[in-house]
Structure 1
């Protein structure tokens, strides 16, 4: 098990509707005032990262969406330590635009911005904004070139690149980012193409929620491939956290979320994402095996089972760390109060368990 403390990130609710496709009450808002306060609460609670979402069209309960890069910068301006990961979609963004935007923000915020390269799964969104839709593995091949171009622009002068999707000739970006060698690059997915990408070019790999066994199988595959490429990649796992004083309370909240799910929106979301998952050659992409209940939380967050008392959740987090997880990407029902509760009740238990296991191993 890693000697480094496991890290924590939260999904930024910069789109309306929260993190579940349900009509349950959610004391969460997508507006900037709510999110500035949330970022400050998360920073104080011990969260190292926040991940802003990228969406261009309404759907699945998210009627309104703030753009990720601008919103990330606003959250960085309201904090002093938190690192914000801006989600960016190749296609709408060219790597030179992303590189220049993020280099500027990195300098303005003393090295606190990162990027999540989203390969894309929603064909309807691409069609709506006039972007060409690529086959599954081609989307990841484009993302790989996008990341290679970002790294080149951020680290080299007179950068030249000849790919199938992007080409650069003697391009020099100045000023370059403050972070060395470059801002951290995150990337998600569960398919073979996603894992191959992570094992060759990404700094971090995000996977959907899953059991400890399912996550371990993915991590083992990525780490083996990364070692063959002489590359290192860290692992982040999605989880929807329901921490309550008793297990019964936590399970009751989960049951209410599912009971009040919006069936039409969940089925519509499921139709799109299952098509995306099944489009991978091995038919094992994100959401390929998700049930209706799983899909009520966008990224299979219930599967990770961080639902229960602070003690139960802390033990499960340390079990995830033991199989190679480096970061928990968390969603909540009522973000501000639940992030504060997590920082007060759960995180100290995680740190105590980590210290105990480290001492035992010494």
Structure 2
């Protein structure tokens, strides 16, 4: 049975997927009023910031695949969004194996200064073998990719916080490396926040040891409880606090029936070859682990129409139903909800006007601390 955390929670933080990749957030021929270009995304970032979103996550793809024909590079796109906003924190997804940590540390420090401390990274251990082999880079087995990612994160943190950083690792080596200037530091923030994803045992252990945030694919309450428990089992003995983000695809409509009909239409109009191709590519990540607990290992066809299992979180219904669901996840230890939408600009506005105020009301009634990141304009 699922049980909530005993910690006194602070207010839920909200992030949205940056649609810097074409095709939208569902692999379906249903209409998606969104755009992967910079002008659209600049306006979207400003809207999200105004209505109360605190984070945005820029996706990373390097070549066309599974309905994503075009894609903008994540770090440069993130910097563009940072310079177009004032408070929004932008998380750039990066792949170890395609980045050298010293180079990324330098880029991150510069972006951090240019944005007054709002740059963050999401370290993606890698699922798309075709991108690596197309660029002539070696493809490591699952647990080796996580060993490399852990060393990558350790190097990033060391370079950002230490003088004369030295590392003799299995994947990266540094000798008396000094980064100047360091990123901006503040109370509770010694370096840019480091996020990671992954569902596997290796991913959970890595998060407990080195990451600031653990992103989960879409999950129900029991699923997220299991992941939080496993990560904390590693982090707590080390005296570390890891925060938890949960992916969820939001379908907020006037009635639950209308929201469910939208979901039915999304799945009915799925781009079947693209979804099945994506499934074939990613499910080896889960099945290649010894205990079969990897990301996407148990995802159904319907789950993968939203390629990070976003339907599983069940943020589908009326604003009241969605707000209740979010507050329940908060009680179970989820610190951040990462939102995807069908029609980004209008649905981010609708979420800020109709869902977020209800979340704050319900959190206040439950004794959850208020968020310092309130909308800059009336909802």
In structure 2, the residue matched to 1:104 is 110
Deviation at 1:3, TM superposition (A): 3.3
> Is contact 1:2–1:324 with CA below 8 Å preserved after alignment?
no
2:306 pairs with 297, 304, 308, which one? 297
In structure 2, the residue matched to 1:145 is 151
In structure 2, the residue matched to 1:228 is 237
Q: 1:286-327, CA deviations, whole angstroms, 9 ceiling, x for partnerless residues?
A: 110000000000100000000000000000001111111000
1:48 aligns with 2:57: no
Deviation at 1:258, TM superposition (A): 0.2
Distance 1:186 1:59 in 2: 24
1:247 aligns with 2:256: yes
Deviation at 1:254, TM superposition (A): 0.4
In structure 2, the residue matched to 1:184 is 193
In structure 2, the residue matched to 1:87 is 93
1:288 pairs with 261, 274, 297, which one? 297
In structure 2, the residue matched to 1:122 is 128
1:71 aligns with 2:73: no
Q: 1:199-255, CA deviations, whole angstroms, 9 ceiling, x for partnerless residues?
A: 000000001001111111111111122102221100000000000111111111101
Matches within 5 A, 1:1-362: 1-179=7-185, 180-358=189-367
In structure 1, the residue matched to 2:4 is none
> Is contact 2:146–2:206 with CA below 8 Å preserved after alignment?
yes
SS at match of 1:85: strand
SS at match of 2:358: helix
Structure 1 stretches lacking a partner, 5+ long? none
Distance 1:58 1:176 in 2: 35
User: What is the root-mean-square deviation in Å for CA atoms of aligned residues?
Assistant: 1.0
In structure 1, the residue matched to 2:375 is none
Structure 2 stretches lacking a partner, 5+ long? 1-6, 370-379
Most deviating of 222-231 and 80-89 = 222-231
> Is contact 2:10–2:368 with CA below 8 Å preserved after alignment?
no
SS at match of 2:367: helix
> Is contact 2:11–2:363 with CA below 8 Å preserved after alignment?
yes
Q: How many residues align?
A: 360
Distance 1:128 1:49 in 2: 32
SS at match of 1:17: coil
> Is contact 1:145–1:165 with CA below 8 Å preserved after alignment?
yes
**Compared CA separation, residues 227 and 260, structure 1 to 2 (3 A):** same
Distance 1:269 1:2 in 2: 39
